[in-house]
Amino acid sequence: MKSKSQSDSERILRATAIFPLAIFIGAVWMLPRISAGAAYRYAAPWAPTLGVELSCLVDGLSLLMILIISGVGFFVSLYSADYLHGHHHLGRFYFFLHAFMLSMLGIVIADNLMALFVAWELTTIFSYLLIGFEHDQEDSRASARMALLVTGAGGMAMLVGFLLLRIAADTFEISRMVAVASQIQTHSFYGAILITIVIGAFTKSAQFPFHFWLPRAMAAPTPISAFLHSATMVKGGIYLLARFHPILGGTPQWTTLLIVTGAITAVGGAIMSTGESDLKKILAYTTLMALGILTMFLGGSATPSLTAAMTFLLVHALYKSSLFLVAGIIDHQAGSRQVEKLGGLLDVMPFTAFAAFAAGLSMAGFPLFFGFIGKEIMYKGALAEPILSGLATTAAVCANALMVAVAGILMVKPFLGRRGRYPGPVREATVSMWCGPVVLGGLGILFGIIPDWVATWLIEPAVRSFHFTTDTIELSLFHGINLPLLLSVITLGGGIAIYLAQRPVRRVVQWGGERLPVSGSRMYDLIIEGIYRLGNLQNHLIQNGSLHRYFLMVAATFIITTGYSFLSRTAKFPAPVFQMLAWREWMIALIIMAAVGMVITARSRLLAISALGIVGASCALIFLNFGAPDVALTQLLVETLTLIIASIVLLRMPGLTAAPVRKTLTRKLMDGVLATSAGILITTLLLAVLTTNLDRSITRFYEQQSYLAAHGRNIVNVILVDFRSMDTLGEIIVVATAGLAGYALILNGGRK
């Protein structure tokens, strides 16, 4: 029994459903103006120096998505409080849910590429948190990680496409790119832009070959599956393709890529759905089918094709979210999602049964349902395409026939079949759980009765916002006796035949799935395993605990990259003119060479560090000889302090152990080559600098301002103390912190 405080908390969380409801009401308020062809746009400076605005646009396409996101979000918010009642992280769930909802709204209203990308990545992050909500289960964590890696990688590819698109269009604003679409499509970057942006859309909308993450994401709680994987997140890629259709679409590359990929995904998802017996897995694969259909028709350019895409976008959001919520109710009340274990639920769960039949018949495309209208316009659109019309029509018929069979599996056995064996008494769910699927499923009936209203207020504004045409856009329950009607009859007949043979069909699909030589999920596992092996190899070769190897890698990288850059950009520079060196300069050079020789041949760490200190002190003498006493003093102090601290530490370390002669010679030879190469490179760079005409404008600025503005005659000191005061303060803090850390280590080393 729940405590009073827990019940109060759940009531408060349920009340947060007002948030998506308010957004839905606001969207409805905008509907008359949007349906009349207007749009709302707002822009504010964001990064003006980069030409980036924080701009928002609400047109017909955006409004349709807002209505779907907020409408389904409202019912999911009501549903979740009872579905997850008693869960100790329910508050966290609602935070993630509504944060994801805001992120999706950010995607569909963004008119700026950078704003869209930020919202896009936020949906990736919050979907990861929602899919892995049951984080104590390994399957949830693995599924969330897979979704994050696949969609995150796609987002990175999409970002590259956005940056290339900015170069081609000379703007970050999506609405302004439409006017220069021909310029973009003839640009040399068009192919790269198309591929990278489409990869982003395909990964988010689970298109082949990135389809495998969506069925695995069913490890999430059912409300998440209903919201993310039927109505919102997976529609993000579909929205992106629709939004960029007037910018990138209409080319043979666009059409071929989207129609072929969509057809493979649609037919493949539909086939795989018939091999499952878990309600959520069945719905996951039918979602793949729907997303493939949407992608396929967005690849077209004819008005019927794009009308079919927008119609099916709404059809699918209604029936699939309803069916997911129904699956959750069945699992919650009956204790199982396995079709073979269910039956006889009609008598005890009448409201849930109504929702299941309303949504299922719309999914199957039966006459008088909104799904039937969507299927009719779908066939009309496929037949109207000038490119790959046969492929699109065949794929649509096959996928829809399989959906008829799947709809029968979802409806008949659980509700009309022989009563199953349940662990306890089964009763209807609470009102807050069944009202959502009932309303969403009922809309499939209502919209089938008033298709002209739906076309005028929802579908036509959405289509015209990204497809500029004077063609009439209409939806009708009956278009006359024609080829689309004949295809609908074939679809229903074929679907019923597949349903009657569901058991052998399921066995064949399962048998074929087990014997596939390769699959997306297996490829993902191989890639992840390869990354782990590469990481272990890198760790063994580089991050092995050897300071010598660390320095070797850093120095070698510097020499190779800097040397290559210098040689590739500098063809020739004049030889420098050496002046005669004074005797004291020769003496300093000889002392440095002798000290370096002592460092190389020393058998004691203390002797080596002392000889290295001589090199540093000799550098201080060079500074002093050339008139920089302050720099010389700083160098001498640093060398002295380093020598003292290093000596104290080295006295507490064991002596050097004798290494094999061959190993020692190899290591010294490698170190010698590295040191010589570094010396040659630095010397060459300095000589090149000496023979280059330097821009002395900064030097003149400091010369003029040091005394007048900072009242100091020592330019170096003035730069450090006045012009770079914050930088110098930071360096002092770093040095002081390092000194305190060294002091603490020395003290700690003397304790037992």
DSSP 661-683: HHHHHHHHHHHHHHHHHHHHHHH
Q: What percent of the chain has pLDDT over 90?
A: 39
- Chain Cα centroid distance, residue 732: 40
Q: Cβ neighbours of residue 375 under 8 Å, at least 6 residues apart?
A: 365, 400, 488, 491
Other CB atoms within 10 A of residue 366 CB: 17
In angstroms, the CA 207 to CA 199 distance is 9
What is the band of 634 on the pLDDT scale with cuts at 50, 70, 90? confident
- What number is the average pLDDT over the span 367-379? 89
pLDDT at 1 over 50: no
- What number is the average pLDDT over the span 156-175? 93
Between CA 429 and CA 140, with CA 92 as vertex, the angle to 5 degrees is 80
In angstroms, the CA 693 to CA 701 distance is 18
What is the band of 640 on the pLDDT scale with cuts at 50, 70, 90? confident
**Quick one: tokens of 314?**
């709404």
**Quick one: tokens of 686?**
């300095």
Coil, helix or strand at residue 173 = strand
What local confidence, expressed as pLDDT, does residue 4 receive?
58
- Residues paired with residue 55 on neighbouring β-strands, in sequence order: 43
Where does residue 693 fall: left (phi above 0), alpha (psi -120 to 50 degrees), or beta otherwise?
beta
Q: Could you tell me which of 198, 389, 363, 197 has the C-alpha nearest to residue 289?
A: 363
Q: Are 101 and 232 in contact (CB under 8 A)?
A: yes
Q: What residues does each domain of the chain span?
A: 294-500, 590-657, 695-752
What local confidence, expressed as pLDDT, does residue 326 receive?
93
- Per residue in 594-609, pLDDT tens? 888 888 777 777 788 8
348: buried, middle or exposed (CB in 10 Å: 19+, 13-18, 0-12)? middle
In angstroms, the CA 197 to CA 155 distance is 9
What is the band of 98 on the pLDDT scale with cuts at 50, 70, 90? very high
Q: 484-495 as b/e, with b when 16 or more CB fall inside 10 Å? A: bbebbeebbebb
Q: Which of 76-80, 338-342, 599-603, 651-655 has the highest mean pLDDT?
A: 76-80
**Quick one: tokens of 43?**
């822009």
What local confidence, expressed as pLDDT, does residue 384 receive?
85
In angstroms, the CA 684 to CA 559 distance is 12
In angstroms, the CA 54 to CA 291 distance is 30
What is the band of 34 on the pLDDT scale with cuts at 50, 70, 90? very high
pLDDT at 116 over 70: yes
φ, ψ for residue 173, nearest 5 deg = -85, 125
1: enclosing H helix or E strand:
none
Q: Are 702 and 718 in contact (CB under 8 A)?
A: yes
In angstroms, the CA 689 to CA 636 distance is 26
Between CA 355 and CA 365, with CA 361 as vertex, the angle to 5 degrees is 145
DSSP state of 723: I
Q: Tokens 């992608």: give the residue.
A: 295
Other CB atoms within 10 A of residue 674 CB: 15
What local confidence, expressed as pLDDT, does residue 385 receive?
82
- What number is the average pLDDT over the span 444-452? 92
Q: Which of 284-288, 585-589, 623-627, 683-687 has the highest mean pLDDT?
A: 284-288
What local confidence, expressed as pLDDT, does residue 57 receive?
93
What local confidence, expressed as pLDDT, does residue 619 receive?
86
- What number is the average pLDDT over the span 477-487? 81
**Quick one: tokens of 690?**
């000496």
Q: Are 72 and 441 in contact (CB under 8 A)?
A: no
What is the band of 3 on the pLDDT scale with cuts at 50, 70, 90? low
Q: Are 209 and 262 in contact (CB under 8 A)?
A: no
**Quick one: tokens of 473?**
């856009």
Greater confidence, 563 or 107? Answer: 107
**Quick one: tokens of 206?**
């689970």
What local confidence, expressed as pLDDT, does residue 660 receive?
56
Residue type, 612: L
Cα of first residue to Cα of last residue in the chain, in angstroms, is 57
Q: Cβ neighbours of residue 594 under 8 Å, at least 6 residues apart?
A: none
**Quick one: tokens of 708?**
């007048």
Between CA 474 and CA 483, with CA 480 as vertex, the angle to 5 degrees is 95
C-alpha separations of 411 from 326, 407, 426, 539 in Å? 11, 6, 18, 55
Q: Which of 36-50, 191-205, 374-388 has the highest mean pLDDT?
A: 191-205
580: buried, middle or exposed (CB in 10 Å: 19+, 13-18, 0-12)? exposed
Q: Could you tell me which of 242, 300, 223, 292 has the C-alpha nearest to residue 20?
A: 223
Where does residue 209 fall: left (phi above 0), alpha (psi -120 to 50 degrees), or beta otherwise?
alpha
DSSP 580-608: PPPHHHHHHHHHHHHHHHHHHH-SSHHHH
**Quick one: tokens of 215?**
């069925």
In angstroms, the CA 684 to CA 690 distance is 10
- What number is the average pLDDT over the span 648-676? 71
Whether the model clears a pTM of 0.85, i.e. scores above it, the answer is: no
Q: Could you tell me which of 492, 504, 485 has the C-alpha nearest to residue 403?
A: 492
